[in-house]
Structure 1
Amino acid sequence: MMSIRPEEFVHERLRELYGYWRGRCVGGRPMPRSALDPVDLAGLLPNLMFLEVPTDGSEIRFRLAGEEIEERYGRSLRGRRLSETFPMVRRRDTSHQWAEIVRDAKPKYRRGPMAFPEDRVFEAERLLLPLSEGERDVRYILGAVYYLPLPPAAFEAATIDGTLEG
């Protein structure tokens, strides 16, 4: 697994989110859900997603997704299972990080092309951050995605993904 440093992020707002998260981690564990204050993240809201990792082992669900994210999918993601979004994108290399973050409780990063319905192609830069609750290191996932338009030929471009250092 490639190791990524926040300095390598293209979008400054992702560095800000990572710093916010890292500054609220406690005792070597991921940031507690209770430390999350949406007011602190107001400028990021259109690009944020908040997902629940159920305690019964059922599938991860979107609780909220910002308007920039939902616009790409062309519908609301609220309450939808994560797997319901996979058929909507043509690139399958985006899905492995969801399982990894639940397993290792480490932040995940991805930057690369994604094709959405109606042949819209974007470079997506995404950060996924585990949020703890009680004894569980990953009870929720806080994420942010930024999109830049790409020409359709760029869909085959290289992807960078990995776990954040430190």
Structure 2
Amino acid sequence: MLRNGTGWCEMRLQTTIEIFDYWNRIRGAADAPLKSQVEPSAVPHLLQSLFILETRKGGDIGFRLAGTRICDLFGRDLRGERFSSLWANGQLADIERTAMGVMDHAMPALFNATGYSTVGHQASFEIIMMPLRSPDGACDRLLGAIAPAAAASWLEIVPLEFLALDRSRLLPGKFDKAAPAEPRPINRIVAGKSIHFGQVMRRMVSQLLSAEAR
């Protein structure tokens, strides 16, 4: 588990912790690193679990790249596929809106999801999405990772049919070694049709700015 100046971040898996640490390192003082700063050779042991998403002309978000382990989980090559196609039908719009919000506000997000196989198996996953900038300064891509919470032999033979989002939350601010005396839980975003992601994001940013001012 990591913590920052605003509270605790429930990031538990080594894959998501390491890629977030790498992303945080290369961005320096910027909100998000340039996509040209991402060097696969710096994290070779993570590549099979990483993906890159991009906004497309049609306005949707699709896979530009997907690691072999992610493709194996779903039993197909995901390159060019729409990101929301991996998710439960009722969550398609929310997932895409959340991914767009991460880019629009240049703020990474962490997800917990349950994956369901074609024959009824279930597995828990931790997913992280982090914004990347183009040379013109706009965030139009996402670097992410998908990692199972526990090893399961069936994941290597039975493909996942879809993911269902359990919860999501922002990862604001830079993580550092200084921990607050009394850690406070960070605010969480629960993706749902009743709450528009943009409204939640704006409220979250406002709360964070107020906390920093104090």
TM range (shorter): 0.7 to 0.9
Larger radius of gyration: 2
SS at match of 1:112: strand
Give percent identity, aligned residues only. Answer: 24
Confirm or deny: 8 A CA contact 2:31 2:107 kept in the other structure. Answer: no
After the TM superposition, which residues 31-50 of structure 1 pair with which residues of structure 2 at under 5 Å, given as runs?
Answer: 31-50=33-52
Confirm or deny: 8 A CA contact 1:107 1:127 kept in the other structure. Answer: yes
Unaligned 5+ runs, structure 2: 1-5, 153-163, 174-214
Quote the residue 1:135 is aligned against: 136
Confirm or deny: 8 A CA contact 2:112 2:124 kept in the other structure. Answer: yes
Quote the residue 1:76 is aligned against: 77
Distance between the aligned counterparts of 2:124 and 2:23, measured in 1? 24
Task: Please state if 1:16 is matched with 2:18.
Answer: yes
Corresponding letter in the other structure for 1:85: L
Distance between the aligned counterparts of 1:90 and 1:114, measured in 2? 13
* CA deviation vs aligned residue, 1:72-126 (integer Å, no higher than 9, x gap): 212110111223333xx47738715313213212101012322243323110101
Quote the residue 1:92 is aligned against: 91
Task: Please state if 1:146 is matched with 2:147.
Answer: yes
Distance between the aligned counterparts of 1:50 and 1:62, measured in 2? 6
Pairs aligned (count): 153
Corresponding letter in the other structure for 1:37: E
Distance between the aligned counterparts of 1:119 and 1:58, measured in 2? 33
Q: Which has the higher strand share?
A: 1
Quote the residue 1:66 is aligned against: 67
Quote the residue 1:53 is aligned against: 55
SS at match of 1:100: helix
Unaligned 5+ runs, structure 1: 150-156
* CA deviation vs aligned residue, 1:31-64 (integer Å, no higher than 9, x gap): 110101011121001111111123x462111111
RMSD (Å) for aligned C-alpha atoms? 2.6
Measured after TM superposition, the shift of residue 26 of structure 1 is 4.7
Confirm or deny: 8 A CA contact 1:49 1:66 kept in the other structure. Answer: yes
Quote the residue 2:122 is aligned against: 121
The verdict on how the C-alpha distance between 1:57 and 1:23 changes in structure 2, with shifts beyond 3 A counting, is farther
TM-score (norm 1): 0.78
